[in-house]
Structure 1
Amino acid sequence: MTEIAGLLLDALLEKEGGFVDHPDDRGGATHFGITIAVARAAGWAGTMRELPREFAVAIYRRRYWSGPGFDAVSVMAPKVAAELFDTGVNMGPGTATGFLQRSLNALNRQQRDWPDIVVDRGIGAATLAALRRLLAVRGGEGEAVLVKALDALQGARYIELAESRAANESFLFGWLANRTA
């Protein structure tokens, strides 16, 4: 992992903490923020309480950093990549990438700065080209505004989740306090 990914992962593991089995969490028992379903899909057969930190780190690296292409984003826009990583861990990498693509489309000034991209929830050449163009046209301020747009979509999604399932209200305050700027 790159240095930025290592720093992000250390901060994430601190935030996620150790073993948790909250009755309102549909994901069931977690350890280091890794759900039992994700751990099993990665080959873990033991109890969640015994999940090693190194195993969790490998999952985060593969599933939430390099797998979705956030490492490629980090080369151009490390703050955007950090936001995508955090959102991807909590909502899924496809959701985070969809937020990025929607934001890039909304920020292109009616396609004067770059063409709209397909919101396919995957980072490919078109998404990276649009990001590169945003940074060229808007500079460092472009990255800051893009992070705000991503945070806004993330916050709105948390509200929607709490509105759609009362049990999610157990997590809303923490999501907003710890996952959005």
Structure 2
Amino acid sequence: MIDELIEAVIDREGGFVHHPADRGGATRFGITEAVARANGYAGDMRHFTRPAAQSIYRRAYWLNPGFDRVAERSPRVAAELFDTGVNMGPAVATAFLQRALNALNRGGSDYPDIVLDGRIGPQTLAALDRFLATRGVRAPTVLVKAIEALQGERYLTLAEQRPANEAFLYGWLANRLG
């Protein structure tokens, strides 16, 4: 599953980009220069390799945040977390999941609220398990919609707070939601 998700992100992100309005600076295959440097790459981003990008995506955006453990329960939710995490950071994606789970627990009657710490841990996984078991076959679809709603709101806020981000808003909404 993760191999297909990584390839889809790389295909969507494309090759080398250095947009003047992008605070991320130079990117290749969607990996920013800062992320590449943090993962040991010291060269020119124009020469950053696809295998290096694949490795970073697998480790930093799938395994380290625990999205692989979410995939054991719901591949669809995990795929959304991965894509959101690539664009906004894994902790933000996880916090969206946690907020959605808290809002969908019917006032704590299905499972207790969880701490919004941006980490996949035992409480988050237990809440996800209960949500999926309680709400049935449509649960993953509803949860993904809630995560995407939070993601869309964040994109709009980013564009409102920094007009230079308006250059990216259309693409974020067109390519990252639904």
TM-score by length of 2: 0.99
Corresponding residue for residue 145 of structure 1: 142
- Residue 177 (str. 1) matches residue 143 (str. 2): no
- Unpaired segments of 5 or more residues in structure 1? none
Corresponding residue for residue 102 of structure 2: 105
- Unpaired segments of 5 or more residues in structure 2? none
Task: Give the AA of the match of 2:105.
Answer: N
Corresponding residue for residue 113 of structure 2: 116
Structure 2 Cα separation of the partners of residues 128 and 80 of structure 1: 12
Q: Pick from 126, 131, 135: which aligns with 1:134?
A: 131
Structure 2 Cα separation of the partners of residues 6 and 74 of structure 1: 13
- Residue 60 (str. 1) matches residue 77 (str. 2): no
Corresponding residue for residue 26 of structure 1: 23
TM-score by length of 1: 0.98
Aligned length: 178
Task: Give the AA of the match of 1:104.
Answer: L
**Percent same amino acid at aligned positions?**
63
Task: Give the AA of the match of 2:29.
Answer: F
Structure 2 Cα separation of the partners of residues 66 and 140 of structure 1: 26
Map residues 64-79 of structure 1 onto 2, 5 A cutoff: 64-79=61-76
Offset from partner CA, 1:106-163 (integer Å, 9 cap, x none): 0000001000000010000000000000110011211110000000000000000000
